[in-house]
Chain A
Amino acid sequence: MKHKSFLFISCDEAKHICDKAQYHEATSWETFKLKLRYVWCRITRAYVNKNIKLTETIKKANVSCLNQSEKQVLRKNLQNELKNQQ
């Protein structure tokens, strides 16, 4: 089994931390390890930059969506209407 480093993380781990960081769910220690890898890993850097850009774009667009319960109501009403038509 591969030994897990205390300070240095793999690229996949860095991506995972980066994803969590987009939702403010990464711990300070995780963020520190990500920053460390960001300095020397080109792939991590590219992923982080792309991920941040996506977060900022979605934030800027201020998009809205229906929540699950609203969709359920809509689905039920549509089904009823469909039955009435048949």
Chain B
Amino acid sequence: MPKHTINPNQWIDLYSDYLFNFTISRVNDREKAKDLVQDTFFAGLKSMKNFKGEASERTWLISILKRKIIDHYRKINSNKGKAEVRVEFNTEDDEGSWLEKRVADTDYRTAEDEIVNNELGDAIYDCLSKLPEKQATVFRMKTIEGLETETICNDLNITASNLWVIIHRARTSMAACMEKNWF
């Protein structure tokens, strides 16, 4: 009997953020990342019958996504590593002239930093996926999206004091989970 079952109706709620974060840290393009996540879900639907239940749904979706990311890089023949070309408009002395200069990437990080950062992101989403749905939603909107309290309260139809109670519970659980898995 398979250990894991598959339920596409829950994919968005359970895995979209995790997959999106996984993708954006590898392709650095929000629109492309969204497309790749969607392609992954579609490919998952197509090959649902092949799911044996030996791995978890998330592991299975990640393996599809990894293939999609590789395909993406094959398609664009990997432009990564080329110097960033920045075009800027100088408004002071040189009014009206366009400057093009080659600059080092200001967000330069070593490969090791990148790996640690990706793992940290994975650990955060792991912990987030363990929270009750409402707590996860509020925490994500407030902490990751950085939305205003009022906006969240209006969107979710909750009071501000209710929001802070939810945030407190979510933060306590997140801190405990991160303590166990990361710190």
Q: Are A and B associated in one complex?
A: yes
Given A19-B171, A54-B178; A67-B21 close (CB under 8 Å): no
B167 (CB) vs chain A CBs: closest residue: A19
Chain B proximity of A78: nearest CB distance (Å): 5
* Contact call B117/A71, Cβ cutoff below 8 A: no
Question: Which of the 9-residue segments A3-11, A35-43, A57-65 touches chain B?
Answer: A57-65
Q: Which residues of B contact A20 (CB under 8 A)?
A: 164
Residue on B with the closest CB to A85?
A: B45
B103 to chain A, nearest CB (A): 21
Interface flags for B34-61 (1: CB within 8 Å of A; 0: not) read: 1001100110011000000000000000
Quick check: B8 and A78 within 8 Å, CB to CB? yes
Residue of A with least CB distance to B161: A16
A19–B171 alpha-carbon span in the complex (Å): 8
Residue A1, interface by CB 8 Å: no
Instruction: Give chain B nearest CB distance to A71 CB in angstroms.
Output: 6
Complex-state Cα separation, A82 to B12, whole angstroms: 13
Set A50, A64, A74: member contacting B24, Cβ < 8 A: A64
The interface bits of chain B over 149-183 (1 if a CB of A lies within 8 angstroms of the residue's CB, else 0) are 10000010000000010011001001100110011
Q: Which residues from chain B contact A57 at a C-beta distance below 8 Å?
A: 120, 124, 178, 182-183
A12 to chain B, nearest CB (A): 9
Q: Please, how many residues of chain A have a CB less than 8 angstroms from a CB on the other chain?
A: 31
Chain B nearest CB: distance from A4 CB in Å? 16
Work out how many contacts link A and B, with CB atoms closer than 8 A.
91
For the complex, count residues of B whose C-beta is within 8 A of A: 42
Cα A78 to Cα B37 with chains together (Å): 11
Judged by a CB distance under 8 angstroms, whether B143 is at the interface is: yes
Minimum CB–CB distance for B77 against chain A, Å:
25
Contact B164 A81 (CB under 8 A): no
- Complex alpha-carbon distance, A11 and B117, angstroms: 34
- The B-contacting residues of A in range 20-77, CB under 8 angstroms, are 20, 22-23, 25, 50-51, 53-54, 57-58, 60-68, 70-71, 74-75, 77
Complex Cα distance, B8 from A85, in Å, reads: 12
Sample 21 A-B pairs with CB under 8 A, ordered by A number.
A16-B168, A19-B168, A57-B124, A58-B124, A58-B143, A61-B124, A62-B121, A63-B21, A63-B121, A64-B20, A64-B24, A65-B17, A65-B140, A66-B17, A66-B20, A66-B34, A66-B37, A71-B12, A74-B12, A78-B45, A81-B45
Q: A57-B178, A82-B9 are in contact. List 11 more A-B contacts (CB 8 A).
A: A16-B164, A19-B168, A51-B171, A54-B174, A57-B183, A61-B121, A62-B117, A63-B125, A64-B33, A74-B34, A78-B11
